[in-house]
Structure 1
């Protein structure tokens, strides 16, 4: 696991400013460490010779004060940078999820919540403490070694040989820790997904008397055990790191002490070397101690950057008029990572203006994927989606979707009344238009002023679908939508309401593509597009 992901540096101006400030403050820290050590060694050496040291004592106080001020500045800059980076990434993730040019499936909501919550909270340790310490660990030891070499070459050689041992140990700790942190992060994601699933189905679980305390307790205990294992490893690695650095400093101390006794080294340079030897290891020891605190933040960084790394639409061409445009899917294949079977495999098909096409086939054959392609939510791995001989990937997705009315399997709702939800995106429709759309969608029994929640817990699945169908009908009748995409719109409806929805869909006079399982829906279509491993056109 790299201490700093280059993608984070490219994306975040806050991280770039932090690194620049850390370099300057690191150089200042190294200079003050060397200067204070030199002055302290001179004070002790001169006192042994009986010389006055009042001015040097004042210099020591000034140097220590300056070092404390630099450390405070480093902490303040790092804390502000951590807050800035968290805000930047949160905004970027939210903007990315809402970006109409985003391609690919939306990530799991529990994963996003875990990343934007506990994941970004770990940035305080990663960006605020670990990254500045990485800079200090890269700057201070080499400068200290140069200073030690100027006073005693043998001590510099000893430190040069022993410092890499500490670095090797840090690498080994990182390799072992990554596995532990991966397990802990997976346990945290599993806990978040389980909790989100329980909340989503809480009403049903309560109705059927299914208690979830045991399941939540087991998932929580798994996360606790992985956290304790990571802490145990952190304490053990800190102990070993401290042992290595202590032995290295002891080697320098013994060597320097013997040569001072034998008269081969003066007291001033010897004290200077003894004071600097621990300072060569101190940044690395602090880095090792902060490494475990930072690993969760580094893991969250990698997850967030992976979430943001995906293809985007680059098309800017105007969208053809779907009232007369013909859509051709030519040799379209959509492949998913980790799946041997394509998510969708279409040899060739045409969708003519004004047609009502029923898309059928077994589960997993790519019916919803076909709608996703037509909505420009993703691109085919191979093949083309052409609209009047214009590649859909070159068309502006916002302009393209403005002509589409889409009813997914689980339609979305917004907080407000049923009227607000039907008029979503069309504020100019009259109340009579909304009532007519609801009536034709088999939802005349739903009061316009009835308040619904975003979660949709206060409406049934059938009512939710009928509201979404009414929304699509209203857009078509207002002249803004000329292609209607429906994903099982009559599921959960009684025969009377199903017949009303099908009559309305047939009467719209626009191109309609509907994913269907029910025979009544298939019979109402002009044509059936049956999906298998290869397309079969009926």
Structure 2
């Protein structure tokens, strides 16, 4: 795991600005550290000689005040940068999920909850504290060593030799903690997914009397155990870094003290070196102390950037505005993380206005075929053409304007029944909405209030609502390709016949995934898909 992912620097202007400010404030901090050390050394040396030091205490106090002000400014800039980066990434993730040019499956809701919730909260430690400290660790030690070398080369050599030891032990600690952090992050994602799944199925679980307290408790305990293991390792590693830096400073102090006694080094220079030596190790030591605080934020950053790094559609060709032939040739698709082929279609041709039923065993790739035609998935091999033009070359946003889609699990939005039917058709009038619902066999009050994610409508009513939505899209937007995934599942014979009749009368090209014999019998042609 890299301390700073270059993808974050390229993607976020706030991070780039923040790093620039960190460098500038780090340079000022280094200059003040050196200046204060020189002033204190000068005061001690002059007092031993009996000279006056009236102005030096004032300068030292001013320098300490300025250093405190810079530290405050550094903290304010860092916290504001962390807030802005979180807001930018959250907005970018949401925009990415809604981007019509996005290719690939959407992430699981549990993973998104973990990333956009606790994962993003960890950015306060990562962006707000760890990254600024990285800037200080790169600037302050170099400036301190250069200043010490100017007055005492031997002490500078000791620091140069011992300073990398802290970096070496930090690397070893990082190797040891990487697995711990990964396991803790996996435990947190598992907890989020489990809790989300329980909430989604809470009604069913209550009906069947299945209590989930024990399951949530076990998943939570695993997260607690992994967290405590990571914290224990963090405390032990901090102890190691403190011990190494203390021994290193002691080596410098012993060398300086012996040479002062022998008369080989002046008091002023000795005090200057002794005051600056701890400052050479302090920023690097703090990086090690903040490393564990930043690992969760760094892990969340990598997860978010992986989520945002995916293929996009780049086609610009306008799609046909009227029914056109569709061909699928040599299509092969394997989903990430799976070894079995998800879709295998050698040769499929759909004529304009044709009603085609797609059948096959569960998991055979029927729904994946619809995802490919919608542009949600990209083939590993093969080609899909629409009117002789490759689907990859079409403007996918314009292409989806030509498609009416009925998913296997239609979703509701908060509002009235009419609002849900007219979803995506803000200009639809009430007569058009009523005609679409009537043709789909949905005999319900259009002013009936429904809520998102509830059981206000039965599964069959949801499917008929989605069919009405598709019919309205065909009639108002000129969509000529209708893709349906199990639209008549759970419907009685009367409503199923009504839905099939409305689809045949729509005048568009219809491709329906189904297991129902009645839907198969109503089709012009049956195509079997089996990966």
TM class, shorter-length: over 0.9
Distance 2:428 2:271 in 1: 85
1:518 alignment partner in structure 2: 516
1:496-525 deviations in whole A, cap 9, x for unaligned? 222221222222221000001111111111
- Aligned Cα root-mean-square deviation (Å): 1.2
Mapping 1:42-191, distance limit 5 Å: 42-191=42-191
Please report how far the alpha carbon of residue 78 of structure 1 lies from its aligned counterpart in structure 2 after TM superposition. 0.8
Q: Secondary structure at the match of 1:478?
A: helix
1:484 and 2:482 correspond: yes
Mapping 1:495-506, distance limit 5 Å: 495-506=493-504
Distance 1:89 1:98 in 2: 14
1:531 alignment partner in structure 2: 529
Please report how far the alpha carbon of residue 476 of structure 1 lies from its aligned counterpart in structure 2 after TM superposition. 2.0
Please report how far the alpha carbon of residue 123 of structure 1 lies from its aligned counterpart in structure 2 after TM superposition. 0.5
1:536 alignment partner in structure 2: none
Please report how far the alpha carbon of residue 427 of structure 1 lies from its aligned counterpart in structure 2 after TM superposition. 3.1
1:406 and 2:402 correspond: no
Structure 2, unmatched stretches of 5+, are none
Please report how far the alpha carbon of residue 118 of structure 1 lies from its aligned counterpart in structure 2 after TM superposition. 0.9
2:419 alignment partner in structure 1: 420
- Quick check: 2:144–2:276 contact (8 Å CA) kept in 1? yes
- Quick check: 1:322–1:483 contact (8 Å CA) kept in 2? no
Q: Secondary structure at the match of 1:106?
A: coil
1:284 and 2:259 correspond: no
From 506, 509, 521, give the equivalent of 1:508.
506
1:477-536 deviations in whole A, cap 9, x for unaligned? 335221100000011112222222122222222100000111111111111110123xxx
1:271 alignment partner in structure 2: 271
1:164-218 deviations in whole A, cap 9, x for unaligned? 1100001111111121111111111111111111111111111111111111111
Q: Secondary structure at the match of 2:319?
A: coil
Mapping 1:353-432, distance limit 5 Å: 353-432=352-431
TM-score by length of 2: 0.98
1:119-159 deviations in whole A, cap 9, x for unaligned? 11111100000000001101111111111111111111111
- Quick check: 2:102–2:311 contact (8 Å CA) kept in 1? yes
1:389-446 deviations in whole A, cap 9, x for unaligned? 11111111111111111000111211111111111122333323323322222222x2
Please report how far the alpha carbon of residue 114 of structure 1 lies from its aligned counterpart in structure 2 after TM superposition. 1.3
Please report how far the alpha carbon of residue 351 of structure 1 lies from its aligned counterpart in structure 2 after TM superposition. 1.0
Distance 1:514 1:55 in 2: 88
More deviation in 296-305 or 473-482?
473-482
1:27-85 deviations in whole A, cap 9, x for unaligned? 11111111111111111111111111111111111111111111111111111111111
More deviation in 449-458 or 277-286?
449-458
Q: Secondary structure at the match of 2:224?
A: helix
2:472 alignment partner in structure 1: 474
- Quick check: 2:401–2:477 contact (8 Å CA) kept in 1? no
- Quick check: 1:408–1:486 contact (8 Å CA) kept in 2? yes
2:458 alignment partner in structure 1: 460
Q: How many residues align?
A: 531
- Quick check: 2:141–2:280 contact (8 Å CA) kept in 1? yes
